[in-house]
Amino acid sequence: MDANKKWLSIPKDIRSQLIKNVFCANCMDEVTIVGFTIEDDKHGIVLNGKCQQCGHQVTRFIESE
Residues that bind Zn ion (CB under 5 A): 24, 26-27, 51, 53-54, 56
CA dihedral 62, 52, 20, 22 (to 10 degrees): 40
Q: In the complex with Zn ion, which residue's Cβ is closer, 1 or 25?
A: 25
Question: What is the closest distance, in whole angstroms, from the C-beta atom of residue 20 to Zn ion in the complex?
Answer: 13
Residue nearest Zn ion, CB atom distance: 51
CA angle 47, 51, 54 (to 5 degrees): 160
Question: What is the closest distance, in whole angstroms, from the C-beta atom of residue 6 to Zn ion in the complex?
Answer: 26
Q: In the complex with Zn ion, which residue's Cβ is closer, 9 or 55?
A: 55
Helix (H) or strand (E) holding 38, with range, is strand 33-41
